[in-house]
Structure 1
């Protein structure tokens, strides 16, 4: 395994192929990319038991006008999936601008916090998902709750999609999908619906996640290239932050506290990050050539902003294979100051003053980047 030096980190070289060949062209990268994707399936997130199920349907629960002082149409869609273990439902909430030409681009939030943050009646308005603001900027605001796909607890992979699609009575393999992979699967099922909604421009859909949801958004975007933009907010370990030399949360810490998030194989790297055949800069590179946005927060030392920023710089050379600029400041050692987002390249980054959170400031930066690169 070839390594590259980056500051204090010695990381796997994403531009060295499995046979030791140097990747110098876009065509070579397109062969290298599936190798990296497979390594993440085998060693980190696990392998889905199924992709799009044969039994998948979309049921419109509500479509009504007049929301947000007449500026939005609300849709509530049940995405119903069936498998050997039963039936599941993802409840999609969607607010679409009413006063502009459609189809419109959309931001899809993978909501890992309380359901009140995506209140369909807008009695509760949360900066975590400022739907009114998103709509005012000309984008549809879409969201679903992770529990509709898989509960966020270590239940032995009995409930949720694991219980519906995993073969019963069979010992799980080390590369079986964990909960983050299940949530990413759910986001792709939402994309299945959005691709068929005539009000949505399916070529301009962003997937957004915070913290564990940010890890999910990155893994979803790596596998599902229908998402034109991938947004990771404060995702840290197992997300945008490189694992080797990382401060704050480590592979061992995350596996011990959340044993259901990743594959069983990932636990073999507890305290042995240097043995991983991949690191998270390689995950970020899988978004290329699409728009990638990574954020950090000054007080979020558990996630380690330095490790998140460096992953962006190290993913940038893959964008250059496409003739694109990755991170505008690729190669510079210091993160930008808070409040000065880097958005010139196809990898955008900002450091926000404050704690581990998703705020309206973050959303405004995401939309600024989308305005710049997705129009």
Structure 2
């Protein structure tokens, strides 16, 4: 009987802890918090111009996010070889050039490769480019039957015909709605996509993917301040940029990194840590992305670190249930992209990602952009649904759920056409 009572008490304790950190969708329950000033150093020094930002404040913020959130890449790993797997000058009903490029990496007797699917408009000029990851393989973003199906591990999704963690023909074209390839090409942009599972499988297991290539001796897990999955995916985007610098058809000075959800977090970190990207689009990135952590609205640091412990470095777990101890917040991650253009987007029904927190992330990053004479978010109230704010710092909230839609891409193309010079 005593054991039974103790068991009941234990489960009651677990229930209460879980309830305490359930997703909050009530603005009246958002705790009071003081947002750190992006223009004040950790020791209290005021930053008054962009030179001081670049020499003092930006380095310390970048270092903090590296050591305590996304993790450091523990070494250099260059492209060992570039293999053109397939190319055509008659793709998308004759409107585009298609390339499928395999980047190969080797170290410590191990090999990893990932494939970039590239569509480019037919032109003699070097073209600007959107680059981003997809969730279920390059073949899912188009009905183009020539796109190679990845053999990498994938999360099961029976509705897409994905079982036993294997991608199949059944999933070809199931995510065409998220990419609007024709609109991108018609606007004069190229598109490059990568299946994120080829760089690092999205599971709490660091025995595969890119991590083992940089382990030391008998290491089995990244150290507490070393890269998690988001750090690895960001690394992969930078290696894609290494390739773009070699491709004479691509204008490497006008490459915009795009991401949705967890890959929206990835896009922000890639843009913050690699200044070669000309702009960043973060679509509904939520907690750990554009949304302010200290609001504790929707997904929280406690939930994200427990459900997806592999996304961030282990040091980030020090702040779960302890957001008030964070000396930074996500507006400062966005600010690290300055003065390059950045677009933050939300969806009205995606409360888990905290649309207001995402808007505030963009708003409170604006003072850093103003140091450069760039226009950010000037209004303190969220814009009306489906009425974008398009400045160097851009934002919109649209109708609908957690997704990428044609409306989103129409705004991104319009914005990039104006601000990616």
Partner of 1:60: 84
Task: Name 1:190's counterpart in structure 2.
Answer: 240
Deviation at residue 17 of structure 1 after TM alignment: 1.3
Deviation per residue, 1:3-36 (Å, 9 max, x gap): xxxx954211111113321000111000211110
Match of 1:107 in 2: 130
2: distance between equivalents of 1:35 and 1:135? 39
Q: Which residue of 2 aligns with 1:166?
A: 215
Q: How far apart are residue 61 of structure 1 and its match?
A: 1.1
Kept after mapping to 2: 8 A contact 1:110/1:207: no
2:276 matches 1:251: no
Deviations 1:202-233 (A, max 9, x none): 11110000000000000000011111010100
Q: Which residue of 2 aligns with 1:368?
A: 414
Structure 2 residue matching 1:316: 3-state secondary structure: helix
> Could you tell me how far 1:277 is from its partner in structure 2?
2.0
Contact 1:108–1:143 at 8 Å: present in 2 too?
yes
Unaligned runs of 5+ in 2: 1-30, 146-171
Conserved? CA contact 1:246–1:304, under 8 Å: no
Output the CA distance in 2 between the equivalents of 1:372 and 1:305.
Answer: 25
Correspondence 1:79-90 to 2 at 5 A: 79-90=103-114
Change (3 A) 1:180 1:50: same
Q: Summarize deviations over 1:319-367 as a string: whole Å, max 9, x none.
A: 111111122x3xx332111111100x21011101000001121111111
The answer to whether structure 1 residue 34 and structure 2 residue 59 are counterparts is yes
Q: TM-score, normalised by structure 1?
A: 0.93
Aligned-residue offset at 1:374: 1.8
Larger radius of gyration: 2
RMSD: 1.7
Task: Specify whether residues 85 and 17 from structure 1 end up closer, same or farther in structure 2 by C-alpha distance, changes over 3 A only.
Answer: farther
CA contact (8 A) 2:112 2:210 kept: yes
Measured after TM superposition, the shift of residue 68 of structure 1 is: 1.4
Greater shift in the superposed pair: 23-32 or 159-168: 159-168
Q: Deviations over 1:17-70 (max 9, x none)?
A: 13321000111000211110000011111111234x245321111121111121
56-65 or 87-96: bigger deviation: 56-65
Aligned to 1:13: 37
- For 1:146-165, what aligned pairs fall within 5 Å after superposition? 146-155=196-205, 157-165=206-214
TM-fit CA distance, 1:147: 0.7
Q: Which residue does the alignment assign to 1:290?
A: 340
Residue 317, structure 1, aligned to residue 340, structure 2 = no
Alignment of 1:98-137 (within 5 A): 98=122, 100-119=123-142, 121=144, 124=173, 126-137=176-187
C-alpha displacement of 1:104: 0.5
Equivalent residues of 2:211, 2:222 under 8 A apart: no
Matched residue count: 363
What residue number does 1:176 align with? Answer: 226
1:215 aligns with 2:240: no
Q: Structure 1, residues 172-223: CA drift from partner, whole Å, max 9, x if none?
A: 4211110000000001000111111111111111000000000000000001
Contact 2:79–2:103 (8 Å) recurs in 1 = no
